[in-house]
Homo-oligomer: A and B are copies of this chain.
Amino acid sequence: VAALLDCFMRLNNNFQGLYMLKTRLTELLNIQHPIISAPMDLASGGRLAAAVTNGGAFGLVGGGYGNSDWLRTEMRAAGNTRIGCGFITWAMAGNTALLTQALAHKPVAIMLSFGDPRPHAAEIKAAGALLICQIQDRKTAREAIDAGADVLVAQGTEAGGHGQRRATLTLVPEICDMVAKEAPGTLVVAAGGIADGRGLAAALALGADGVLMGSRFWATVESQAHEDHKRKAVALSGDDTVRQTVTDIARGYDWPVEYTSRVYNNALIRRWSGKAEDQRKTAEAARKGYFQAFADGNTEEVGVIVGEAAGMIHDIVPAAAIIERTIAEAEEIIARLGSLRFQG
């Protein structure tokens, strides 16, 4: 049997290009590849979301902190492409008209991250959109299950931008076990530290139905992140990123205390790290300069919002190329894992 199997595996590998990975996520979202792009504030516009969907995965526009004009422009920019829209829940909760506005565009899904999704679930479901909830531990997972989420995105601390303490490698299987017991119809997607086919294959091995990638799509041609920030990410190792609150103090954003943000550990972060009280005294006066430096693409005095996956980002290419190579690599890995099996 082993010899014959081996023969067929080899034959099969010649046809590798014809294969795809089918999971509950590809079924639910009616997509080719079990990959979602993160709804990253200011980076995930309509262009990136549409490029991801057109590449066979599922793109999300980043509703961010809630700018109605930006949301309108970007949802329109995605045109008729099947996309979703993601919100920072606690920010959107202060202006729920934004959710209503997004739903008017008939998105396939709404993703809620960082805050209680339960008050918003009914409106989302009534509009016919799927509910995707990003969670970081058992507590937030339970809230998402209670909200009737269709998909839980289990986000590890490796992720760029906001998140919490748990790592993807342990969070995903623990949440899969929890969901299997409490809400077996709910899907689990892995996020945080995934940037290539290795991460996708690992996530599937952990029991996830797919992956959500942030940093990797943030550093693509279609991303609206500043080109100098993208280039910086290519140069960085995962060792160069750190979780911190300096950038939120700088911007004056009142994040709940359990959330920190992973960014490049640059001059700004090193200068204020562990000195929150001192920084707060100067932050307001420095704020205009911060936002200007951000717009200018400065990489040392603003948050360069990239995760530990930076060490696996080596080029800036179109989103479709990322999807294609991620699937091809995961395919190759799955074939290789099969070949490790040895009849003893």
Contacts and interface: CB of A to CB of B under 8 A. Distances in A.
Contacts of A174: 237-238, 311-312
A202 B206 contact: yes
A165 interface: yes
Interface string A156-181: 11100000011111110110010000
Interface stretch (A20-28, A84-92, A220-228): A20-28
A150 interface: no
Nearest to A196: B173
A161 to B, nearest CB: 15
B21 A340 contact: yes
B334 A341 contact: yes
A170 B308 contact: yes
A138 B340 contact: no
A198 B204 CA distance: 9
B165 A158 contact: no
Contacts of A344: 18-20, 32
Contacts of A15: 1, 343
Nearest to A32: B344
A138 B343 CA distance: 37
A218 B206 CA distance: 22
A1 B7 CA distance: 11
Contacts of A342: 19-22
The oligomer's copy count stands at: 2
A271 to B, nearest CB: 19
A150 B19 CA distance: 37
A324 to B, nearest CB: 13
Given A23-B340, A206-B202, A342-B20, A169 B168 contact: yes
A192 interface: yes
Given A8-B5, A20-B342, A198-B173, A238 B166 contact: yes
A207 interface: yes
Interface in A200-237: 201-207, 237
Contacts of A149: none
Given A22-B340, A334-B338, A340-B21, A169 B169 contact: yes
Interface in A283-340: 307-309, 311-312, 331, 333-335, 337-338, 340
Q: Which 7 residue pairs of A and B lie closest in terms of their CB atoms, listed nearest first?
A: A201-B205, A202-B202, A174-B311, A170-B308, A22-B342, A170-B193, A169-B193
21 contacts: A1-B15, A19-B343, A20-B343, A21-B340, A156-B169, A157-B157, A157-B167, A158-B169, A167-B167, A168-B169, A169-B169, A170-B193, A170-B312, A173-B196, A173-B311, A198-B205, A198-B206, A201-B205, A205-B334, A334-B341, A337-B337
